[in-house]
Structure 1
Amino acid sequence: MFFRLLNHEFGKLFKRNEFNIALTVEFAMVSVIFIVSCSVLYKSYTSQLMSAYQLWIGYDTSQFNFTKYIYFLFFITLPASIAFSDSYLEDKKEGVINFIVSRCNRGLYIFSKGIAVFVSGFIIAFLPLLIHQIMCMTSVPLFSVSEAATGNPAYDRYYLTAFMLKDLHSANPYLLNVVYMIFDGMFGGSIALLSYSFSFFKNVNRYVVIILPTILFYMENFVSQLMGKPNYSIMNYLYITAGIKNMNIDVFLFAIMLTISASIIIIILNNLSGDEV
């Protein structure tokens, strides 16, 4: 029964207009950023081109930082919430919930939908970043000679001491990029799950469910920067940066675990209250 429910929820996910629109907007955004980046590099000497892993939107380069900030500030949380997080409210409005739970365990229904919601947020965050990296690999060298030509080989640069997972960067910078894509996917999934949990509040508005996680994300980022603790800002863990001291992967993983745990607690408490699904 669980796998039938899961298959049903994923079927709804991939057919949902909001999911496909959000994913299309994400693809369009990374495509525009890619075109802008390539236009800046147009007619540059081959020996002066950066490597494809450095051209990736999530990599810290002073030349394209403005596009990175725009993307990670505005194009992760909201699209992840829009994709599928309010589908519980949609089921409730259409009156199909009682029909479903009369034929299966209510907990299985909530759990299967939660998995689909998390995966939807993961896909929205992860897939466009992967596509952007592939675009970069088709346009500039995988490893540019410009790094060695300037006397600062990629694996010996002083700023790598400030990188998180710097040993992985030295071993394979593309693998590090993929790891950060997975981090972003986990973040997108946790945000989507938090948004989903808000839909269990009584008489909650659909727009509150979608927008509130993004507002909380902005508030956390603002407070961390205001207190002079950028290493506690979750946004700064979504891309590779060497400009912030004391970055610790444990901070990011704790934030993800806290968000998921809070979502689960909210769902459980609201279902223990005795309200109708």
Structure 2
Amino acid sequence: MKSYTQRQLFDEVGLVLNQFFTSGEVNSLRRMLLEHVLKIPYYHVHLTPNAQVSPSLSKNILDMTGQLVRGVPIQYLLGETTFMELNLTVNPSVLIPRPETEELVRWVIADCHLPKPKILDIGTGSGCIAIALAQNIPDSTLTAVDISPDALKVARHNAKIYSASICFVEADILSGSLIPNAPFDIVVSNPPYVRSSERRFMHKNVLDHEPPLALFVSDDNPLQFYKAIVSKSSKLIKQGGRLFLEINEEFGNQMVELLEANHFGKVTLRKDINERYRMISGTYTG
């Protein structure tokens, strides 16, 4: 494998990616890839275009470019992503955190005025929600559950990086799994909510690489996780406690009805940055 200059790699990566991605996507992917592998700020590529890159690093960059073309998400290639200014480890065991979920977390933070809240994160995945809440709500006590032991391994690793004291528990919300530390002041969840019939609308890289367990529900029972959560409200949530959920925009009205029928008041739907109703909250009245 020959060595390349930084400029040659910049051009080569762009040439390959331009065949499959928009110009905006190419610029973003190329920047992330070169910064990660070369361990330099992106502008250095242009300041020192003739700097030599070793054959091994050149091969690494070009191999990863090929994987991007084959649909592997850049976050999995780099093994990391950013969420709420946190740099988190991700791999195919966990869903890649989305910007919409950041909005849900910011809503929880803005709404919380308790001095020492007890918070439960259901379906924690990478731990992004729980860790962000631990970092932004002083004196909070976090419990986070997930059905996947591999996901919990990633979440524990991420929590350790930020010295976040979180009680991680392997549990299935659909079963009778006991969740310690209940009841909670706040329960938050981004559960699976994409119907199987919606697969055809999703990007191939998501379908081929992200964990289906964290994404999909059956068309016959698309609200199964939400029903399970609210059915356990008397055990999970204190009277006057708050529930925050990320939801499928197609089921906003049904979610309002579900919460109101299960002793939740002050039920509020909220739009995301794309003007879609993707979040809901309610106060448990007991």
Both proteins in one fold, TM over 0.5: no
Please give the TM-score of this superposition, normalised by the length of structure 2: 0.26
Tell which has more relative contact order, 1 or 2 (C-alpha 8 A, sep 6+).
1
TM-score (norm 1): 0.26
